[in-house]
Structure 1
Amino acid sequence: MAQRLPPALEQKYERYRKMVEEHENWLATARLWEAQIGELKRTLEELSKQPEDVITYKAVGQVMFKVEKPKIVEEMENEKQDKERSLTVLSKKLETQATKIKELHDELQVELGKQNLRLQ
């Protein structure tokens, strides 16, 4: 027969589960931003090897527009910087949240231990 958890413990477990799920989603976002930053860096590096008057294009949806190299470089630099700032903020949030998840996990382990149960 399955043992029913007390409502307060069940709520705490549900909060823990949601925090873990949110943390995983934030990690996925961080990985995506890291990949985008890497792609921007590689593109900017390649653009830096090209002469200033090189013909460049920017894809917008299914249409390509001719743009001046300095303008596209500036746009990409700004986008890279914005993503790096966002990633820094997200990394701090992840660090704080990981600490909270660990604390909640430890609390749950103690409370479940009192009932001879264990958190996976």
Structure 2
Amino acid sequence: MAQRLPPELENKLVRLQTLQAQYNKILQERATVESEIAETQRAIKLIEEAGENAPVYRMEANVMVRVDRAKLLQELKDRLEILELRLQRLKKQEEEIRKQLDTLAKEIRELQTKLALGKQAGAGAS
């Protein structure tokens, strides 16, 4: 017969699973943002290396459209700034959830130890 976990431990385990899911989601989002940052940096570098008079094109609705170099460069730099701010926010969230996960895991281990000791004491009394 399977024993039911104490409600406190069960709640903590559910919370741990929820935090782990949030943590994994943040890690995925961080990887996506880091990839977008690298791509944007490459685009900026290419445009800057192309020179002032080189024509610059953008893909819009499956059509290559010639665009103003300076305007596009500024748009990319603005996008890069936004992405970097987003990355900083994600890193802070990641750190905060990691701390919560560590604390919760410690609490769960302590509860499990108490339960194990209680069972041993109960078994010794029989």
Aligned residues: 116
Q: Percent identity?
A: 27
The answer to whether the Cα contact below 8 Å between 2:47 and 2:56 also exists between their aligned partners in 1 is no
Secondary structure, in 3 states, of the residue corresponding to 1:114? helix
Q: Report the secondary structure of 1:53's partner residue.
A: coil
- Larger radius of gyration between Structure 1 and Structure 2: 2
User: Matched residues in 1 for 2:98 and 2:25: separation?
Assistant: 13
Q: Any stretches of 5+ residues in structure 2 without a counterpart?
A: 117-126
On the 8 A contact 2:16/2:105 being kept in 1, the answer is yes
SS state of the match for residue 11, structure 1?
helix
User: What SS is found at the alignment partner of 1:59?
Assistant: strand
Q: Which residue of structure 1 aligns with residue 120 of structure 2?
A: none
Cα deviation, residue 59, structure 1: 1.6
In 1, the alpha carbon distance for the partners of 2:71 and 2:64 equals: 15
- Greater relative CO (CA pairs within 8 A, separation 6+): 2
TM-score normalised over the length of structure 2: 0.85
Q: Distance in 2 between matches of 1:33 and 1:24?
A: 14
Alignment-derived partner of residue 48 in structure 1: 48
Calculate the TM-score normalised by the size of structure 1: 0.89
In structure 2, relative to structure 1, the CA distance for the partners of 1:19 and 1:53 (3 Å cut) is same
CA contact (8 A) 2:55 2:66 kept: yes
Query: 5+ unaligned residues in a row in structure 1: which ranges?
Result: none
**1:106 to 1:61, Cα distance in 2 relative to 1, 3 A:** farther
Match of 2:78 in 1: 78
- Cα separation, 2, equivalents of 1:100 and 1:41: 34
The DSSP-based 3-state class of the residue aligned with 2:115 is coil
Displacement of 1:63 in angstroms is 3.0
* Equivalent residue, structure 1, for 2:122: none
